Amino acid sequence: MTDLATTEAPAGSIALADTDDSTARLHRNLFIALAALLVVAPFVAYPVFVMKVLCFALFAIAFNLLLGYGGLLSFGHAAYFGMASYVSAYTAKQWGLTPELAILLGTAVAALLGTVFGALAIRRQGIYFAMITLALAQMVYFFSLQTPRFTGGEDGIQAVPRGKFLGLFSLADDRALYWLVAAIFLCGVLMIYRIIHSPFGQVCKAIRDNEPRAISLGYRANRYKLMVFVLSATFAGLAGATKAIVFQLASLTDVYWTMSGEVVLMTLVGGLGTVFGPIVGAAVIVAMQNYLASLGSWVLVVQGVIFVACVLLFREGIVGVIAKWIRKPL
Amino acid sequence: MFELLGVPPQALFGQVLLGLINGSFYAILSLGLAVIFGLLNIINFTHGAQYMMGAFVAWMALNYLGLNYWAALIVAPIVVGAVGIAIERLLLRRIAHLDHLYGLLLTFGLALIIQGLFRNQYGSSGLPYAIPPQLSGGQNLGFMFLPNYRAWVIVASLVVCLGTWFLIEKTKLGSYLRAATENPTLTQAFGINVPLLVTLTYGFGVALAAFAGVLAAPIYSVNPNMGGDLIIVVFAVVVIGGMGSIMGAIVTGFALGLVEGLTKVFYPEGAATVIFVIMVLVLLVKPAGLFGRQA
């Protein structure tokens, strides 16, 4: 099966070749380097900034799982990110849940939402799929806007307590919280890496490249699509729920369509369909937003320009270009 | 005062009117999206921004050049359509051979740029645009008060929609367009300049959006954010109607506006989401859309 999925990939698509030994070793080394970077990062950079990068990187990786490996462009991933963020913030603040439980609950709600929306969206394909996911996400946005008792309306849920991890270790200090966020991030990345390289991931790629053929080989394409959609929504939720604890805030920005656009941009900049691309893309975009924060709406313009430039000139993204250069999938 | 279905008729007909006005905008915008999608195979995310540009061009024409509303109704679609033609020639044409999703991403980026530029220049609070003096005032119909301008918006958009339908379904130019939508290569082999047709189609779709923007300017304030949310509702309208039929887009647009208006009367909390809920129902029952062709 795996051979079919990869050798038949159309030229120019960024199909991940079968991971041979040298590629596997390279990836392992890169993960070790990533872990080392995570250990060093809070000592050289502002921890809250690094945590923001990690949350968005996880979000982008989750999105990339769906688009890069499932071939499905969701324009409504803010719904899962934002809803998980609300649930985690609400339960931590109003119910007094410990952070890990709040995050888990937020993630679970995102998974549930992903199941419902995914089942609806996969009924149409291509461009319609993108429009449906966008419209469903906008529905979540209006829901959030109109239920201020739950979401705090325009103000959002502010001053969410970071609480004590497992009820024992206080996370009030940025450094302490950082290790939890870094652990969540690393677990998320490794799990998605495992999913991509599992037989399930190979079938998803086969469906992405040629759906009728995959169906004729006996795979129930819709079940795989739904599954990869739910997984993607779940990890997006994990990222959103963690973000709410880090910034102690869940707001309408998290469920708005601009957020859905941002995650597409991060993935595109880093490299669509690459393992490490979304991490790089998230770091670049978050850093850019920080740098340009004082310029107001120019951020929007700059993001738009990057979007256009990426689509016209730089479709492989940063990591995609490097991968082509060293001739190994990254 | 008598009541209708437990609601005073003033409120009921007022919301029905408002719903029809929103429906006019849905119809014109989804029509433009459908025409562009038919030939270019891209979903034009910039459509909302181009609608906003139409309103802004009208405002600028009035405040900088002293051109009145009626002139703006002609000038704005031409100006915005020309910008659209430039976008098609310079940008969209380069990615025509790629997956259609790249078209969506590119036009999304363009929408961000346009919206950001206008927000920088004019802020996000909105600028007033007066109703033209010929259309101020209104008629008392006995059961409700009908502002002249609102009646004009509905009539004008109906005329434009039906005119577009006539142009595409009943004229020679329209038959070229339909042929090129069906099979561009074969149409070109018959000696028809398909690339030119593509450019003009995009320009025309965009001009429709700008026209809707001018119509909207006196009703809603002229605001850089006016297109962003609207376009997503229009996407839902397009999913509900399916993009296969011109008349389908028009009917769906007006009908959904009406439904939205009625929801505002009977269940105000649901007004913002009712179109999305209908979209979900349509997806469950008839995934191809009410007028869709593809399975």
pLDDT value of position A168: 79
> A73 with B104: CB under 8 angstroms?
yes
> In chain B, where does DSSP find H-type helix?
9-40, 47-60, 69-90, 100-122, 148-170, 172-182, 184-189, 194-216, 226-241, 246-266, 274-285
Distance, in Å, from the CA atom of A250 to the CA atom of A235, rounded to the nearest integer, reads 17
Contacts of B101 in chain A (CB under 8 A): 73, 126-127, 130
| Residue among A39, A308, A178 at smallest CA distance from B102 | A308
Burial of A193 (0-12, 13-18, 19+ CB in 10 A): middle
Residue A153 carries which side chain, given as an amino acid letter?
G
pLDDT value of position A190: 95
Q: Do residue B120 and residue A296 have CB atoms under 8 angstroms apart?
A: yes
Q: Does A303 touch chain B (CB under 8 A)?
A: yes
Compute the C-alpha angle A52/A56/A59, nearest 5°.
150
Lowest-pLDDT range of A50-54, A275-279, A291-295, B159-163: A291-295
Distance, in Å, from the CA atom of B229 to the CA atom of A305, rounded to the nearest integer, reads 21
Q: Does B122 touch chain A (CB under 8 A)?
A: no
Distance, in Å, from the CA atom of A157 to the CA atom of A82, rounded to the nearest integer, reads 12
Neighbouring CB atoms inside 10 A of A294's CB total 8
| Residue among A60, A107, A64, A99 at smallest CA distance from A83 | A107
Distance, in Å, from the CA atom of A184 to the CA atom of B57, rounded to the nearest integer, reads 50
> A222 with A122: CB under 8 angstroms?
yes
Distance, in Å, from the CA atom of A153 to the CA atom of B214, rounded to the nearest integer, reads 32
B239 min Cα distance to partner chain A (Å):
7
pLDDT value of position A93: 92
Q: Can you name the residues that pair with B4 across neighbouring β-strands?
A: B7
Compute the C-alpha angle B155/B29/A306, nearest 5°.
150
pLDDT value of position A167: 79
Q: Does B229 touch chain A (CB under 8 A)?
A: yes
DSSP 8-state code for residue A10:
P
The predicted-structure confidence for A1-58, as pLDDT tens digits, reads as follows: 333 333 333 434 444 445 578 888 999 999 999 999 999 999 998 999 999 999 999 9
The predicted-structure confidence for A178-203, as pLDDT tens digits, reads as follows: 999 999 999 999 999 999 999 999 99
Q: Does B293 touch chain A (CB under 8 A)?
A: no
Q: Do residue A124 and residue B287 have CB atoms under 8 angstroms apart?
A: yes
Compute the C-alpha angle B262/B213/B238, nearest 5°.
55
Q: Does B233 touch chain A (CB under 8 A)?
A: yes
pLDDT value of position B5: 65
Distance, in Å, from the CA atom of A107 to the CA atom of A236, rounded to the nearest integer, reads 8
Of B95, B229, B273, the CB nearest to A312: B95
Distance, in Å, from the CA atom of A203 to the CA atom of B73, rounded to the nearest integer, reads 54
Q: Does B162 touch chain A (CB under 8 A)?
A: no
ipTM (interface predicted TM): 0.88
Q: Does B86 touch chain A (CB under 8 A)?
A: no
Largest interatomic CA distance in chain B: 68
Q: Do residue B277 and residue A139 have CB atoms under 8 angstroms apart?
A: yes
Q: Which helix (H) or strand (E) holds A246?
A: helix A221-247
Q: Does B33 touch chain A (CB under 8 A)?
A: no
Q: Does A127 touch chain B (CB under 8 A)?
A: yes
The predicted-structure confidence for A65-104, as pLDDT tens digits, reads as follows: 999 999 999 999 999 999 999 999 999 999 989 999 999 9
Mind giving me the DSSP string for A154-173? Answer: GG-B-S----EETTTEE--S
Helices B9-40 & B148-170 angle (0-180, nearest 10): 30
Could you give all domains of chain B from N- to C-terminal order, each with its CATH number? 9-123+142-285 (1.10.3470)
Which residue of B lies nearest to A143 if distances are taken between CA atoms?
Answer: B273
Contacts of B238 in chain A (CB under 8 A): 131
Whole-model pTM?
Answer: 0.90
Contacts of B288 in chain A (CB under 8 A): 124
The answer for residues whose C-beta is within 8 angstroms of residue B86's C-beta and 6 or more apart is: none
Q: Do residue A132 and residue B276 have CB atoms under 8 angstroms apart?
A: no
> B111 with A304: CB under 8 angstroms?
yes
Which residue of B lies nearest to A141 if distances are taken between CA atoms?
Answer: B273
Distance, in Å, from the CA atom of A317 to the CA atom of A313, rounded to the nearest integer, reads 9
| Residue among A160, A164, A182, A180 at smallest CA distance from A172 | A164
Chunked into runs of 10 residues, chain B (295 residues) has average pLDDT values of 66 87 94 90 92 95 92 95 95 88 92 93 88 86 84 94 93 91 90 92 95 93 89 91 86 94 89 91 87 63
Q: Which two tokens stand for residue B89?
A: 């020639």
In the block, which residue shows the tokens 């900049």? A269
Q: How far is CA A154 from CA A142, A157, B46, in A?
A: 11, 9, 27
Q: Does B286 touch chain A (CB under 8 A)?
A: no
Q: Does A288 touch chain B (CB under 8 A)?
A: no
Of B95, B100, B272, the CB nearest to A142: B272
Torsion of CA B270, B271, B272, B275, to 10 degrees: 90
Contacts of A261 in chain B (CB under 8 A): 108, 112
The predicted-structure confidence for A229-243, as pLDDT tens digits, reads as follows: 999 999 999 999 999
Backbone angles phi, psi at B140, to 5 degrees: -95, 110
Q: Do residue A127 and residue B238 have CB atoms under 8 angstroms apart?
A: no
Give the whole-number percent of chain A exceeding pLDDT 70. 94
